[in-house]
Amino acid sequence: MKKIGPPVDRVDGPLKVTGGARYAAEVPVARVAHAVLVLSTIARGRITGMDTGKAERAPGVLAVITHKNAMHLPPQPTRETRASQGDHVLQLLQDDHVLYNRQPIAIVVADTFERAQHAAHLVAVRYEAAPVDVDLLRTRTAARAPHPPYHGTVAQTLPVESRRGDVAAALAAAAVRVEEVYTIPAETHNPMEPHATIAVWHGPTHLTVYDSTQGVFEDQRKLAASLGLPRENVRVISHYIGGGFGTKGAVWSHVPLAAMAAQKVGRPVKLVLSRPQMFGPVGARPQIEQRVVIGAGRDGVLAAIRHEGRSSVSQFDQFCEHFTAPTRALYKCPNLDTTERVVSLDIATPCQMRAPGEVTGTFALESALDELAVKLAIDPLELRLRNYAETDPETGRPWSSKSLRQCYQTAAEKFGWSRKKPQPRSMVDGKLLVGWGMATATYPANVRPASAIATLFADGTALVRAGTQDIGTGTYTVMTQVAADALGLPVEKVRFELGDTDMPETPTSGGSCTAASVGSAVHQACLGAREKLARLGNGGGADPSVDEPFAAQLARHGMKRIEARYDAKQLETRDRYAMRAFGAQFVEVRVDPELGEVRVSRAVGAFAAGRILNAKTARSQLLGGMIWGISMALHENTVYDPKLGRIMNNDLSEYLVPVNLDIPAIDVLFVPEDDPYVNEIGVKGVGEIGITGMAAAVANAVYHATGRRIRDLPITLDKLL
């Protein structure tokens, strides 16, 4: 396998561009009825009355389900008893409490979508509303420690506090000190495809669900548990997903509600969230406030870092973005305190959003380091090199591989960083101010147990299956490549199938773990199939393809097929090494000094993330991440009405993300990296790292352009007037 895999076109590309790829809501299901959610219009209180008569009498309506007539469910997990990171506390019409604005409070089912939608408008609700508290920066509610980690095993559950050395003493003795507060508003996931579910019952105890999900097995587990079914009675299918970004990483209320509705009307039910319904009940990045204190010598060598902050969470569930995680890992620093706190507000539960923790933490840390560099008059890149961590600063373990130095060098060279004039407002283009900024990117190399089955056929083709998902990242394509490589076949001879709980179990696609985890399983399953064939004899060694194609071997043995399954294990080297992907982001902005308008005019990112399976799909991931980082820096802001607790900018006209004109040509550079320890195929994953560091690089560039340090995202023009 090459370090940088060939840019194979997406194997599912032709299906996608011709409409042949069926997304969850497009799966043809006979007699399907259409459901529309009714969402609360208050953020806290009780439902005192619901008039459903008009809706029930509306043409085509099959059922209006509320807490009065909903199926009675077995006890549901609470924030104290939940089983895993994805085990959200749901609102399944079991009582009259309202806990956040746009909480599902009824579901209307009709024979057509339009009729269901209109009938949903006809449901009249009376509330007893209580005052709400939704703004992290204005709340008087005290921050508290997050709830203890979930029961069961969750790869990404990290400590919310860490201490090393003596920060207070080191700060007191430090020659220079930076202490600043950085804030990030709630951000809302907006995958092109909204959440969509079709629920089909086969008798009273067996359920099939077509769902747009990042985790078919998590879906299966949660559906079974919430509905009181044995897990094996639930099958979840998810063949194509139009983006997830974390919001589809776990089951939200609408998924079991679709199943409940289908049971009620005795027909399959399709439920698709509208774009405004994406703003509330299906997660968001929490509001986060972070304080970073850095003490350093005049030479820029770090003496101490204190990184503490608080993030918003709902009143009834738990979630904590581990925004201090990158600070624990990025730089050599003998004294470190990190603390993560949460504040319960009258909002829906936040959840993972692309590079949770790493993206928010690097905004604060990499901004603060830039402030330190300014204070010391040291080049920001040089400052980072002076504090380069040759081993993991937290554990002292060696890195399985780390090529950050090469990333800095590659990106800086491409960008022309050495031509930077250090003074703010010193670079201009006509009347516009030009600013250059940089930041470090990082994301952990996650691997979770995954399984796969490889089948070799006598016609010389192979089929490889794993339950995993392709959330738009290119899983179909890269797994086909991994299998073809292990089998010594051209990619055209290999078919990879995914997205079905009837296939071997795999992890939820989140935390950049799919390529590494499923890829390793696919690789091993394919090697297993070859070995099995080899053991049949006549040919001897473990590498039969050298002498004889496997089709010929199968034919010789009179076999139509041979199959091998592999159940991936955590590699034991994972305990001996620290494992992360790293990168360097360089950004140029142009700022109108009078009007405050900021446009990114150039960006270069260089990344070392182990083996790159496909240069094309990997580039797309990194590019998409970098673009989202620009969006986070300049545009995204989920706005709550302070009294209603309702998200008011609930569509893509008012919730701003960049348009083409906002995004310049972006250079994505790969730094080749060979990592024999991280997993069987040496892959670290590229889904998340592209966004990390980016917001800080933009903010640092804005400072360089204007001399104004903006610590509150997004950097809108009013902050620069």
Site residues (CB under 8 A) for other proteins?
A: 41, 59-60, 112, 114-115, 117-118, 121, 594-597, 599, 634-635, 639-644, 646, 648-650, 653-654, 656, 658-662, 716-718, 721
What is the nearest approach in angstroms of other proteins to the Cβ of residue 708? Answer: 14
Query: Between residues 571 and 663, which has the closer beta carbon with respect to other proteins?
Result: 663
Query: Between residues 574 and 719, which has the closer beta carbon with respect to other proteins?
Result: 719
Query: Between residues 550 and 640, which has the closer beta carbon with respect to other proteins?
Result: 640
What is the nearest approach in angstroms of other proteins to the Cβ of residue 89? Answer: 24
Residues contacting 532, CB < 8 A, separation 6+: 562, 563, 564
What is the nearest approach in angstroms of other proteins to the Cβ of residue 102? Answer: 10
Whether the bond into 444 is cis, omega within 30 of 0:
no
Query: Between residues 101 and 360, which has the closer beta carbon with respect to other proteins?
Result: 101
The answer to whether 312 and 345 have CB atoms below 8 angstroms apart is yes
The answer to whether 305 and 335 have CB atoms below 8 angstroms apart is yes
What is the nearest approach in angstroms of other proteins to the Cβ of residue 307? Answer: 30
β-partners of residue 463 are 455, 495
Q: Annotated catalytic sites, by residue?
A: 688
Mode of pairing for the β-strands spanning 33-39 and 269-272: parallel
How far apart are alpha carbons 495 and 515 in whole angstroms? 16
> Phi and psi (nearest 5°) for 469?
-120, 150
The answer to whether 698 and 600 have CB atoms below 8 angstroms apart is yes
The answer to whether 663 and 431 have CB atoms below 8 angstroms apart is no
How far apart are alpha carbons 202 and 598 in whole angstroms? 56
Query: Between residues 40 and 473, which has the closer beta carbon with respect to other proteins?
Result: 40
What is the nearest approach in angstroms of other proteins to the Cβ of residue 144? Answer: 28
Q: Which residue in 471, 695, 461, 708 sits closest to 600, CA to CA?
A: 695
3-state secondary structure of 46: strand
A 10 A CB-CB count for 151 gives 13
Q: DSSP characters for 52-94?
A: -HHHHHSTTEEEEE-TTTSPPPPPPP-TTT--STT-PPP--SS
**Residue 410, Cα to own-chain centre: how many angstroms?**
27
How far apart are alpha carbons 673 and 718 in whole angstroms? 43
What is the nearest approach in angstroms of other proteins to the Cβ of residue 651? Answer: 8
A 10 A CB-CB count for 78 gives 11
Q: DSSP characters for 255-277?
A: HHHHHHHHHHHTS-EEEE--TGG
Structure tokens at 358: 């790493």
DSSP state of 691: G
Q: Which residue in 152, 100, 132 sits closest to 282, CA to CA?
A: 100
What is the nearest approach in angstroms of other proteins to the Cβ of residue 135? Answer: 11
Structure tokens at 264: 């009620």
DSSP state of 415: H
Query: Between residues 300 and 714, which has the closer beta carbon with respect to other proteins?
Result: 714
Query: Between residues 424 and 664, which has the closer beta carbon with respect to other proteins?
Result: 664
Query: Between residues 112 and 205, which has the closer beta carbon with respect to other proteins?
Result: 112
